[in-house]
Chains A and B, each alone.
Chain A
Amino acid sequence: MSTNDSAENIHEQIVTLLPRLRRFARNLVRNPHDADDVVQIAVERALLRLDQWRSDARLDSWLFKIVRNAWIDEVRARARRAKILMPEEAGEQVGEATMEREIDRWSAESALTRLPEDQRVAVSLVLVEGLSYKDAAEVLDVPVGTLTSRLARGREALQEMLRLPEGEAS
């Protein structure tokens, strides 16, 4: 961020990013209303922690990180009484009878929900939100190598579920 950018109204910058924050949250939380709750918590939290934002860091990455952490906190707090969490076990059933049973081709949306959480978030940050590996790794507080392997595994599973025709897209 340049000096001019950081002098601009950060509130309006966050407003501009809201659609993407909602998209990211929906890839974490199935229920759209719950996803918006997570975004709201994250945004309020971000405003209280503006001093922790390194002005040379991307605002979107920083906010994604707060959204993700807000989600983790919410999951911890609410897992017992509400089912806002994506079915975690579902990710382990990829390739098993459940997925071949009736569905010929998964939609990208439902395929993503079938991934284990760490792969789902990696795919969401890099493929959906377009973050670099480095930025995505920072959001998740993991080394780039870890991010890369989660992404690779997630992609492999998605390829299988989506059955993208090989080579035809070239």
Chain B
Amino acid sequence: MTISDEMLMAYADGELDAASRARVEAAMQEDPEIGKRVARHRALRETMQGAFSGVLNEPVPERLIQAARGQTAAPKSAVVDLSAAREAARRKNSAALRWQPAAIAASLLLGLGLGFLAWHGSGGLIQPGAGGGLVASAALAEALSTQLSDDRSQVSVAVAGLSFRDKSGDYCRTFSLTGSAASLGLACREGTDWKIKALAQAPRGAANPGNFRTAGSEDSPVIRAAVEASIEGEPLDHAGEIAARQAGWAAAAKR
């Protein structure tokens, strides 16, 4: 019976399936030399594991912790962005949002939207728009522009959900964000931007891309209310979404 050294190594590393494991163990019983070789592999594994553990007990430099928390990207300009966003959102909200649930959404938008800016830093999924308010960017903008609501093959931090047209003919889509701060939101197409209309914290476990339609907007009264207040007609079906996507989500003619 021949047992390669690689096989013994894999055995020592716990990488063999049951059949191969049995083979090695049988061989070890027959030949003590094989047992010694396995022991050497195990001893090396233990040595290497222990040798580098010193760094694990060192205090982690603050700069790395800040980097991991997304707090390194130009904190000063972030402050400016935040106040600009707050102002813009306030103007936008007082002027345009008239329904009561949306007012709740707006206050959430202020708090959470700003939180997002802080969390995501320069790679933010939500950023102040040129014309005021907050707009989707990066992966969120990508998701809103390209994902179909029934296509869950793309796993992304941002997932686009229900699509519909609002009362002024603009296309709107709900979305969910996973990761740093799981959220549900509503964005509407304005020009080439996806303007964030509402944003709410996702209930625990609700931001699962796989069942957004049931667990997404349904799970957030704020987003559901925002959708109900702005939707005109029925949500887009699959073909409707494809057509809208092909048209670049350009606003349909006002009714």
* Contact size range, A: 35 or more
Q: Is chain B's binding surface mostly helix, strand, loop or mixed?
A: helix
Given contacts A43-B67, A47-B123, A126-B13, contact A19 B60 (CB under 8 A): yes
CB pair B10–A133 under 8 Å, yes or no, is yes
Given contacts A6-B178, A50-B179, A112-B48, contact A18 B64 (CB under 8 A): yes
A17-55: CB near B (< 8 Å → 1, else 0) gives 011101100110000100010011001100110110111
CB pair B178–A7 under 8 Å, yes or no, is yes
Would you call A127 an interface residue if the criterion is a C-beta within 8 Å of the partner chain's C-beta atoms? yes
Would you call B205 an interface residue if the criterion is a C-beta within 8 Å of the partner chain's C-beta atoms? yes
- Which of these binds chain A: B36-44, B128-136, B189-197, B228-236? B36-44
- We find that the number of chain B residues with CB closer than 8 angstroms to chain A is 61
Select one of B10, B155, B207 contacting A148, CB under 8 A.
B10
- Which of these binds chain A: B49-57, B99-107, B216-224? B49-57
- Which of these binds chain B: A8-16, A72-80, A88-96? A8-16
Complex-state Cα separation, A160 to B180, whole angstroms: 46
Chain A residues, CB < 8 A from B9: 148, 151-152, 155
CB pair B181–A133 under 8 Å, yes or no, is no
Q: Is chain A's binding surface mostly helix, strand, loop or mixed?
A: helix
Q: Tally A-B pairs: CB < 8 A.
A: 154
Would you call B167 an interface residue if the criterion is a C-beta within 8 Å of the partner chain's C-beta atoms? no
CB pair A164–B63 under 8 Å, yes or no, is no
Q: How far is the CB of B178 from chain A (nearest CB, A)?
A: 5
Chain A residues, CB < 8 A from B39: 166-170
Would you call A158 an interface residue if the criterion is a C-beta within 8 Å of the partner chain's C-beta atoms? yes
Complex-state Cα separation, A40 to B64, whole angstroms: 6
Given contacts A166-B40, A170-B35, contact A18 B55 (CB under 8 A): no
Would you call A143 an interface residue if the criterion is a C-beta within 8 Å of the partner chain's C-beta atoms? no
Chain A residues, CB < 8 A from B73: 44
Complex-state Cα separation, A55 to B156, whole angstroms: 8
CB pair B65–A3 under 8 Å, yes or no, is no
Complex-state Cα separation, A10 to B70, whole angstroms: 10
Complex-state Cα separation, A55 to B57, whole angstroms: 29
Would you call A123 an interface residue if the criterion is a C-beta within 8 Å of the partner chain's C-beta atoms? yes
Complex-state Cα separation, A19 to B68, whole angstroms: 12
CB pair B68–A15 under 8 Å, yes or no, is yes
Chain A residues, CB < 8 A from B58: 19, 22
CB pair A123–B48 under 8 Å, yes or no, is yes
Given contacts A4-B205, A170-B35, contact A47 B51 (CB under 8 A): no
Q: How far is the CB of A77 from chain B (nearest CB, A)?
A: 19
CB pair B44–A158 under 8 Å, yes or no, is yes
Chain B residue nearest in CB terms to A55: B155
Chain A residues, CB < 8 A from B179: 6, 10, 50
Some 18 contacts from A to B, beta carbons below 8 A apart, are A7-B207, A9-B180, A19-B58, A22-B60, A23-B56, A40-B63, A40-B67, A44-B73, A47-B70, A51-B142, A112-B51, A132-B15, A149-B6, A152-B6, A164-B44, A166-B40, A169-B42, A170-B36
Interface residues of chain B, those whose CB is within 8 Å of chain A, are 5-6, 9-10, 13, 15, 35-36, 38-53, 55-58, 60-61, 63-65, 67-70, 72-73, 119-123, 138-139, 142, 155-158, 178-182, 202, 204-205, 207-208
Shortest beta-carbon contacts, A-B, top 7: A108-B51, A169-B43, A170-B39, A167-B36, A51-B139, A48-B123, A127-B48
